[in-house]
Structure 1
Amino acid sequence: MAQANYVLPFIFGRLSFFLLLSIFLSLPLGHVAEEAGTLSRHCLENPPTLNSSYGAGSVKEIGGLKAYVTGHSHSKRAILLVSDVYGYEAPHLRKIADKVAQSGFYAVVPDFFYGDPFVVNSSTTKEAWLNTHGTDKGFEDAKPVIAALRETGILAVGAAGFCWGGNVVTKLAKTDLIKAAVLLHPSWITLDDIKAVKIPITILAGELDNGTPPKLLEQFESSLSEHKVTNFIKIYPKVKHGWTLRYNDTDATAVKAAEEAHNDMLQWLIKYV
């Protein structure tokens, strides 16, 4: 009897393990990352040196948020650029906004973090920071910004999001608030998210980005095409998560890859916004 009392729990324990494992493996790719809502080391590599005065534009309040704005204020088309966790004072992001503005758009980069971007090696943990600055809140904060732009005479709004911002823009793409969306190495995107997208969308992904592996991107493309949503998905070779924003200016290969993605983003916005 003593041996039976030992063997039975052992057997049931192994059965429970394999049952849990089978459930885990049956989940759609990206599901676990979405639920965990954590920042991987790739999300945080090569942090920018923030500069509040960088760029050709200026900072003003739009829809209750401070925002870096650049371009002609009388433009009828606006592009919302949603940052990664390092926020709206990142020089590379403002440089992209200036480039968007040069194509005739009014470019807007809101401070979705209320002056509190993620800081590496700070006393605040990644999890605690995300609890305060979740993408659901970013989505809700984007609504009054878009409404305020429309009140100024803007007729069409597009949006591009990077990493954290890619998740926010995906949420916007499920609505009629924007005309077109661009996701650049987005984080925590699931197949269910993509199934709900309603507008033209492009996803620009890195070959070495584990957050959006090729198999998951194939599912995204299949779903978008099945639902007759105009889409374009591109995988850039030999680059990893964050390459469009946190590249090294002295690395010619990295700069070239980033600029290629910026141009692809811009062409999509010109075509559909």
Structure 2
Amino acid sequence: MSLCEDCIKGIRHEGSPEGHWETIDGVDSYVGTPTGDYQKDKVLLFLCDVFGPQLPNAQLLVDDFARNGIKTVAPDLFEKDGIPFDVLESEEKRRAFDRSSWFSRHTPAISRPPLDKVIAALKTQGVTTFAATGYCYGGRLVFDLAFKNIISASIASHPSLLKVPDDFEKYLSVSSAPLLLNACTIDKQFPEPAQLQADAILGGDKFVPGYKREYFDGCRHGFAVRGDLSDPTMKAGKEGAFKAAVAWLYRYGFGPEGEKARKVNE
């Protein structure tokens, strides 16, 4: 498994994060808490890309989920060693950055223990049900949690580091978590042939808990979290992936329900 060039490309988004940092059993985590009443026994785990939850883009998305009534926690799986933001902003630094060296320090097996610590600590606080949304690198961890049925709903946007078809066949055989995939046109990590294999394995009601793949034509890997919002296609893809994620969570018991469901914020 390895990272591709598009895993470290994208745009740093502007905005003022509204959540807060919290140390959960020693793991720094960015937390978005809804205002007013919300389901306190449920948490959405926000599993970041390689830039970690320090990236404003990630924090703004966490805030958006909270604004839609879903408490969201983004653990720092890289212990403040996410890829530096200037790699996004400088072609020269991006070319010079050693992806292999960084990945050797932060394989999914290394990132998993901090995530497990956060989940265990949240359980002691009364959380009984988890969902997970993962972007790029984080998509791999969504699958790993689903394989153990730790989560009750899964969302993976342009996931990286998957083994196709193996991971989808395993998902079919061992997981009970409904799965939403947000996919796109240009994606070396999850290209269209792999997307079609996922459909063939899980689609057509083969996966009884629920499966859906949204496809954002003209977008490229990273669009749902690092897309260039000045590009109408990428902006529509980013917003569409978020709306699809919130709708999926509402459908499977997270956030306001029925007549109480609020409009998905753009």
TM-score range, shorter chain: 0.7 to 0.9
Q: How do residues 117-196 of structure 1 correspond to structure 2 at under 5 angstroms?
A: 117-119=82-84, 120=87, 121=93, 125-190=98-163, 191-196=165-170
Shift of 1:249: 3.2
After superposing on structure 2, the runs of 4+ consecutive aligned residues of structure 1 that deviate more than 6 Å are none
Asked if 2 retains the 8 angstrom alpha-carbon contact of 1:164 and 1:186, the reply is yes
- Cα–Cα, structure 1 residues 152 and 74, in superposed 2: closer, same or farther, change >3 Å? farther
Q: Return 5+ residue gaps in structure 1 as ranges.
A: 1-36
The equivalent of 1:92 in structure 2 is 57
Aligned-residue sequence identity (percent) comes to 26
1:222 matched to 2:184: no
The equivalent of 1:7 in structure 2 is none
The equivalent of 2:90 in structure 1 is none
CA RMSD in angstroms, aligned pairs only: 2.1
CA distance in 2, matches of 1:212, 1:231: 17
- Cα–Cα, structure 1 residues 194 and 140, in superposed 2: closer, same or farther, change >3 Å? farther
Q: Which moved more, 1:41-50 or 1:243-252?
A: 41-50
TM-score (norm 1): 0.79
- 1:50-70 per-residue CA deviation (whole Å, 9 max, x = no partner) reads 99xx51110011133100001
Shift of 1:86: 0.8
CA distance in 2, matches of 1:227, 1:64: 37
CA distance in 1, matches of 2:226, 2:62: 15
Task: Say which one has the larger Rg.
Answer: 1
Q: How do residues 180-259 of structure 1 correspond to structure 2 at under 5 angstroms?
A: 180-190=153-163, 191-197=165-171, 198=175, 199-225=177-203, 226-259=206-239
The equivalent of 1:63 in structure 2 is 25
Q: Which has the higher contact order (CA 8 A, sep 6+)?
A: 2
CA distance in 2, matches of 1:108, 1:50: 21
Shift of 1:74: 6.7
Q: Return 5+ residue gaps in structure 2 as ranges.
A: 88-92, 255-266
Asked if 1 retains the 8 angstrom alpha-carbon contact of 2:130 and 2:150, the reply is yes
Shift of 1:250: 2.8
Asked if 2 retains the 8 angstrom alpha-carbon contact of 1:146 and 1:177, the reply is no
CA distance in 1, matches of 2:138, 2:14: 17
- 1:189-217 per-residue CA deviation (whole Å, 9 max, x = no partner) reads 12211222211111111111132222212
